């Protein structure tokens, strides 16, 4: 090895070294820029063999644009005057393709300092250039993407929480421009109470410790308004795990939260409506069946009174039984009111006059500790409702208010006009409100307040049907009842009642039990077909008809009634409505089709009849007395002509 090295001159060893380098083009230029040497790396980069390039000017490696700009001469001049020239740029291979080169040209001088040529080193950085360009392009695309996002605030935080950059979405959501906020602490976006609790520091600590922090909370805009934000903070670290800062993304979810709240409210209202409807159906069914029993009890007691000998003690017992049954009738009336199946006489009603006329009565019921205030606008349209039932509803609300203010207070009755609530867009209502200053109700009590038989009063101090009746009246009138209450802040009950349209008329319905005696001389003796699926009611109705001097034929179903009409002369039909297989309305339709001259009275414990039936039929409300029955018979036009 020593003999081999000794045999080589110093120039030979340098030549071997240069030819062994293939990652760099290393060659010499004379004073004019002509190539005088060429290594293997130069041949690999540029494609020229040594024989092809020696003696040629190095400018052929430059692009046409660079040659036209005089860059080769500038490079040699710089190297000559400054000793070195270095830059990066595009160069041209033998085959015409371009590559990105890093170029260094050093001036070579003789011992006295004169430039005798140049040493040129070129490195192919095309792949690195591509990677850098790709990175630059990616960063630019990302920057444009971030700046183009307007629905999200996307920005960086320094490790201490100061804002490092700011996108358009951040400016739109939070109100600050980049100049106003970059360099400031992100804590200013937090509410004062969150800042006092140290939430900003906790957020960064969590992101630093766990790599991520995520939460929904209220944030503050530049103008001081608040918005509900979905916040994500990610820790950004270098390859060694050192924390560089945080990436923070904030989204304004206020509208989404409000929409979700409205959806939940709508679901709750639907659930409440379905629950109240189910309770109403159950209550209405119970009230209807109870009315049948009361019809039998009251009718039987009335007939029994006529047959008892004069005996004061027995009459007192009888009167006591009748009064109890009548109280039961009032109870079922309230139950039917809640179930929206009470008999209403709907008519245009002027609220201010109605309230004014009953103020004295209300004041006597409430006592001197309660002061009544009324607030009505100068002009208020009439509403369509049953004025008598509305008076009862107001009295119920007033009594509830009195009980909620044991130490006294002010009861305020007010009314305002309202359009588009609570129904469709063209709905027109008057809001009649009764407000007290009492104890108020918690949310659990408020949710059940209008349910029948639910009461917070002591035993014997209320049936729990007052608000239920008001609810039913409002619903059956075409409106609704709303309750607003908070513990210690009182309660406001608001009845929405529809405005009466021009031409609205009263609905006339035969009244319920009056207890008045009837005489058989009021009408001619008739053959009356009584139809009811309840044997007790049927027997009682037949007995009262017989006592009035009529001939009663009783059947338990609509089909039996049609069979009797086929074979026997009938002057009049009194039929129950709620019967299985064939309802009273269906029976009436069949009779009117075949025997149109036979008058029909419909006995029912409900106010509403199914759609499609004859709504003009005279109705007899259960429970009914013998006097009610006599008036129903005498009031039918056809019978009136026969008996006059």
In the chain, how many domains are there? 5
Query: Considering the domain boundaries, does residue 490 fall inside one?
Result: yes
Q: What pLDDT score does 334 carry?
A: 55
Task: Calculate mean pLDDT across residues 420-429.
Answer: 61
Q: What pLDDT score does 584 carry?
A: 87
Which CATH number is 431's domain given? 3.30.565.10
- State yes or no: cis peptide before 565, omega within 30 of 0: no
The label of the residue with tokens 């209550």 reads 283
Is 477 found in the same domain as 358? yes
Which pLDDT band holds residue 504 (cuts at 50, 70, 90)?
very low
The size of the chain, in residues, is: 644
For 533-545, b/e burial (b = at least 16 CB within 10 A) is bbeebbbbbbbbb
Is 479 found in the same domain as 362? yes
Q: Is the pLDDT of residue 137 over 70?
A: no
Is 315 found in the same domain as 402? no
Is 619 found in the same domain as 571? yes
Query: Considering the domain boundaries, does residue 48 fall inside one?
Result: yes
Is 158 found in the same domain as 50? no
Q: What pLDDT score does 221 carry?
A: 93
What is the SS3 assignment for 383? strand
Q: Is the pLDDT of residue 255 over 90?
A: no
Query: Considering the domain boundaries, does residue 27 fall inside one?
Result: yes
Query: Considering the domain boundaries, does residue 510 fall inside one?
Result: no
Q: Which of the listed residues 95, 126, 157 is the one where a domain comes to its end? A: 126
Is 278 found in the same domain as 232? no
Which pLDDT band holds residue 513 (cuts at 50, 70, 90)?
very low
Q: What pLDDT score does 517 carry?
A: 47
Is 357 found in the same domain as 431? yes
Q: Is the pLDDT of residue 643 over 60?
A: no
C-alpha neighbours within 13 Å on the C-beta side of residue 375: 12
Is 639 found in the same domain as 556? yes
Domain that holds residue 39: 2-126
Is 564 found in the same domain as 616? yes
Q: Is the pLDDT of residue 294 over 90?
A: no
Q: Is the pLDDT of residue 330 over 80?
A: no
Mean pLDDT of the chain: 79
Q: Which of the listed residues 71, 94, 126 is the one where a domain comes to its end? A: 126
Is 363 found in the same domain as 297? no
Q: Is the pLDDT of residue 176 over 70?
A: yes
Query: Considering the domain boundaries, does residue 134 fall inside one?
Result: no
Query: Considering the domain boundaries, does residue 162 fall inside one?
Result: yes
The label of the residue with tokens 């259960």 reads 622
Check residues 9 and 558 and name the one with the higher pLDDT. 558
Which CATH number is 199's domain given? 3.30.450.20
Which pLDDT band holds residue 485 (cuts at 50, 70, 90)?
confident
- Distance between terminal CA atoms of the chain? 154
Q: Which of the listed residues 284, 299, 333 is the one where a domain comes to its end? A: 333
pLDDT tens per residue, range 364-386? 778 888 888 888 888 888 888 87
Instruction: Mean pLDDT check: name the lowest of 89-98, 244-253, 605-614.
Output: 605-614
Contacts of 36 (CB under 8 A, 6+ apart): 27, 28, 29, 30, 54, 117
Which pLDDT band holds residue 458 (cuts at 50, 70, 90)?
very low
Q: Is the pLDDT of residue 528 over 90?
A: yes
Which CATH number is 543's domain given? 3.40.50.2300
Query: Considering the domain boundaries, does residue 354 fall inside one?
Result: yes
Is 448 found in the same domain as 352? yes
Q: Is the pLDDT of residue 335 over 60?
A: no
Query: Considering the domain boundaries, does residue 505 fall inside one?
Result: no
């Amino acid at each position: 090895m020593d003999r081999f090295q000794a045999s080589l001159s110093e120039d030979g060893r340098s030549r071997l070294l240069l030819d062994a380098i293939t990652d760099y083009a290393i060659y010499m230029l004379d004073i004019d820029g002509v190539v005088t040497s060429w290594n293997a790396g130069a041949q690999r980069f540029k494609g020229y063999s040594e024989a092809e390039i020696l003696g040629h000017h190095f400018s052929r490696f430059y692009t046409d644009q660079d040659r036209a700009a005089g860059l080769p001469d500038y490079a040699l001049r710089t190297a000559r005057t400054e000793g070195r020239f270095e830059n990066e740029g595009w160069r041209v291979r033998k085959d015409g393709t371009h590559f990105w080169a890093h170029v260094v040209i050093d001036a070579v001088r003789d011992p006295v300092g004169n430039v005798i040529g140049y040493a040129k080193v070129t490195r192919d950085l095309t792949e690195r250039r591509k990677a850098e360009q790709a990175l630059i392009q990616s960063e630019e695309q990302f920057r444009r993407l971030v700046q183009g996002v307007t629905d999200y605030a996307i920005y960086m935080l320094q490790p201490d929480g100061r804002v490092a950059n700011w996108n358009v979405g951040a400016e739109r959501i939070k109100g600050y421009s980049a100049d106003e906020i970059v360099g400031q602490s992100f804590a200013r976006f937090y509410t004062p109470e969150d800042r006092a609790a140290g939430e900003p520091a906790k957020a960064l600590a969590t992101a630093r410790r766990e790599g991520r922090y995520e939460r929904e909370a209220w944030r503050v805009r530049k103008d001081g308004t608040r918005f509900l934000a979905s916040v994500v903070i990610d820790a950004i670290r270098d390859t060694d795990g050192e924390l560089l800062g945080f990436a923070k993304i904030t989204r304004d979810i206020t509208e989404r939260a409000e929409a979700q709240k409205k959806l939940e409210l709508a679901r709750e209202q639907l659930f409440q409506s379905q629950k109240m409807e189910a309770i109403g159906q159950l209550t209405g069914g119970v009230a209807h069946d109870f009315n049948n029993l009361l019809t039998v009890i009251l009718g039987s007691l009335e007939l029994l009174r006529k047959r008892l000998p004069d005996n004061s003690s027995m009459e007192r017992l009888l009167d006591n039984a009748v009064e109890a049954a009548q109280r039961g009738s009032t109870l079922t009336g309230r139950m039917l009111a809640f179930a929206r199946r009470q008999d209403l006489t709907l008519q245009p009603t002027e609220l201010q006059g109605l309230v004014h006329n009953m103020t004295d009565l209300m004041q006597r019921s409430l006592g001197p500790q309660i002061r009544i205030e009324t607030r009505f606008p100068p002009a208020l349209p009439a509403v369509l409702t049953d004025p008598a039932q509305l008076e009862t509803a107001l009295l119920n609300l007033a009594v509830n208010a009195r009980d909620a203010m044991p130490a006294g207070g002010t009861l305020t009755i007010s009314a305002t006009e309202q359009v588009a609530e609570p129904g469709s867009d063209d709905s027109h209502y008057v809001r009649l409100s009764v407000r007290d200053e009492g104890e108020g109700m918690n949310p659990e009590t408020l949710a059940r307040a209008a349910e029948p038989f639910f009461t917070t009063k002591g035993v014997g101090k209320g049936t729990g049907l007052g608000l239920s009746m008001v609810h039913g009246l409002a619903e059956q009138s075409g409106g609704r009842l709303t309750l607003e209450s908070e513990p210690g802040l009182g309660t406001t009950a608001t009845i929405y009642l529809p405005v009466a349209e021009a031409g609205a008329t009263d609905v006339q319905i035969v009244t319920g039990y009056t207890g008045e005696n009837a005489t058989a001389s009021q009408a001619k003796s008739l053959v009356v077909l009584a139809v009811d699926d309840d044997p007790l009611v049927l027997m009682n109705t037949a007995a009262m008809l017989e006592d009035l001097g009529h001939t009663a034929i009783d059947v338990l179903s609509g089909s039996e009634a049609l069979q009797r009409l086929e074979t026997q002369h009938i002057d009049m039909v009194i039929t129950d409505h709620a019967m299985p297989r064939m309802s009273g309305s269906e029976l009436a339709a069949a009779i009117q089709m075949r025997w149109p001259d036979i008058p029909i009275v419909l006995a029912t414990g409900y106010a509403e009849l199914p759609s499609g039936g004859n709504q003009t039929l005279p109705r007899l409300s259960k429970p009914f007395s013998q006097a009610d029955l006599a008036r129903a018979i005498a009031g039918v036009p056809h019978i009136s002509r026969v008996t006059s």
